[in-house]
Amino acid sequence: MKIAIISDFHLGAKEDGLREEDPFEQAKEAVEKALELGAQLILISGDIFDSRIPKQEVWSKGMRILSFASEKKNRDVSLLDTIDKKRGDITDLPFRGAPVIAIHGNHERRGKGFVDSIEALESSGLVIRLHHNGVVLNSEGVNVAIQGMGYVPGEFAKDFLERWQPSPIEGSVNIFMLHQGLGRFTYSASESSKLQPADLPEGFDLYISGHVHYKVESEVHGKPLIFPGSTFRTQLLPVEARNPKGFYMLELTDESLDYEFVKLNSPRDFFYEKKEFERTNPLEVENWVRDKVNEFLQEKFENPDRRPLARIRLVGSLSKGSSRSEINSKDIEAEFEDKILLSITKEDLSSPELEEKTEFLRNIRKENISMEERGLKILESKLNDLNYDRRFDSSVLYDLLSGERTEEALDEVMSEIDKITEAKLEEES
């Protein structure tokens, strides 16, 4: 039995942008290629859509892509049984072609009492939806039991699994499907997952998860754990530059379970570069960026028919007196727009002055002093930036300002200015 394992189409992502058609093209290629390779069944582990309530235009394109599977002649797959799922929820339509089994992802999840997009697709006969339940199918004498759990907020996922307690079905090849981050396998570096691979139920022959957008092959309970990754590049992260986009083809017999990754051809090439600077002036930074982009453009592209993607992340420090606003990143992006879709990130660049002020404020917070004393220290720091020569008492000025006596504070400053002016005139005369 041949099964395609696909995930995270994110149809509708990057809407109204230069890449808005990419998710549809990659999803279409994945489904068509899976069917060409003889897939009798397609598993989609979440996030078919990018939003909870997709627009009609997204629905139309998405349903057309999913219908490719139902247009194929039945590939000798039949429904034997359901697990905690009403038989009446499953129409006969999926079994006219290659059935599609799907779970909802975090982008599709809706609250209790609301119909999510995967439920709607099940009602239309395009997919069989799983969530804390499963189905047992048969093809060519091989029984396969597929149980799935759609996305659950991370802090509740372990409790949901413990309450559900799914167990393998005897006499079947058992597959467990979910859409979660698992331990170190997460959507991004900033995400943490309380659910660990070891928390997954034991006894299954294969574990599949969506949500993570890069392909991963690991192991849990002595069995394979695979993340197909997204078909579309939603995140411009280093790991995505190193990993191809695609899906898995799984071949089952009574005695063996084999799988291989199938690469897609339609995704854009993607380059990622992180560069750290030390007290560099903005013009030098801009010149480095231009040189790096030109290097990217000299590379051999796997998909030469489409403009590649590139993300350049600038970190470190700028020269004294410089600001990251002086780096014209938008102008550089526009300069190369006809050749490459460029994204320049400069939020992690700082100037020495900014670092000093940040450290100064951090140290003030650590000191066990009153709010008034903190305010006075900050005022004195600001005055020092203006080359304040201590001709007047800063504490008096602070008291006047904090008491909203701004006129008196101004008089105090003007009085000192008058004294300086008079002294200067006397010297000249």
Query: What pLDDT was estimated at residue 155?
Result: 84
Sign of the CA dihedral 360, 361, 364, 366?
negative
Give the CA-trace dihedral at 201, 205, 209, 212, to 10 degrees. Answer: 110
For the cut 70, the answer to whether the pLDDT of residue 399 exceeds it is no
DSSP-derived secondary structure for 246-262:
EEEEEEE-SS-EEEEEE
Asked whether residue 291 carries a pLDDT value surpassing 60, the answer given is yes
Question: What pLDDT is stored for residue 413 in this prediction?
Answer: 56
- What DSSP element (H or E) covers 385? helix 371-385
What is the mean predicted confidence (pLDDT) over 102-129?
A: 93
Bridge partners (DSSP) of residue 349 are 316
The DSSP bridge pattern shows strands 100-102 and 128-129 to be: parallel
Could you give the CA distance from residue 283 to residue 309 in angstroms, rounded to a whole number? 24
- Residue 421's pLDDT band (boundaries 50, 70, 90)? low
The CA radius of gyration of the chain, in Å to the nearest whole number, is 30
Q: Please check the confidence at residue 363 and state whether its pLDDT lies above 80.
A: no
pLDDT for the residue 191: 65
pTM of the model: 0.80
The tokens of 392 are what?
């007047």
CB 169 within 8 A of CB 145: yes
Cα 113 to chain centroid, rounded: 28
Provide the total of helices (H) and of strands (E) in the chain, helices listed first. Answer: 11, 16
User: Average pLDDT of the chain?
Assistant: 87
CA dist 166 and 85 (Å) reads 13
Short-list 74, 45, 251, CA closest to 147: 45
Mean pLDDT of 170-197: 85
* pLDDT given for residue 236 in this prediction: 85
Least confident window among 181-185, 272-276, 293-297: 181-185
Q: Which of the pair, 371 or 26, is modelled with greater confidence?
A: 26
Q: Residue 115: which pLDDT band, with cuts at 50, 70 and 90?
A: very high
**Residue pLDDT, tens place only, 54-76:** 999 999 999 999 999 998 887 78
288 within 8 A of 344, measured Cβ to Cβ: no
Better-predicted residue by pLDDT, 239 or 420: 239
Q: State residue 417's pLDDT score.
A: 54
pLDDT at residue 418 above 70? no
Sorted by where each starts, the structural domains of the chain and their CATH numbers stand as 2-263 (3.60.21.10), 270-352 (no CATH), 367-428 (no CATH)
> pLDDT-based confidence at 386, cuts 50/70/90?
low
User: Distance between CA 226 and CA 241 in Å, rounded?
Assistant: 19
pLDDT at 121: 96
pLDDT in tens, 236-286: 888 888 889 999 999 998 788 999 999 999 999 999 999 999 999 999 999
Instruction: Give the residue with greater pLDDT, 427 vs 95.
Output: 95
**What percentage of the chain has pLDDT greater than the value 70?**
80
Confidence category of residue 136, pLDDT binned at 50, 70, 90? very high
Q: Is the pLDDT of residue 25 over 60?
A: yes
Of 26 and 325, more confident: 26
pLDDT number for residue 403: 58
Give me the pLDDT at residue 253, please: 83
pLDDT band (50, 70, 90) for residue 46 = very high
Between 94-98, 194-198, 252-256, 399-403, the lowest mean confidence (pLDDT) is in 399-403
* 154 neighbors 194 (Cβ within 8 angstroms): yes
Query: Which run of H or E residues covers position 149?
Result: strand 142-149
146: which 2 tokens?
A: 């597929």
Query: Residue 169 CB: number of other CB atoms within 10 A?
Result: 20
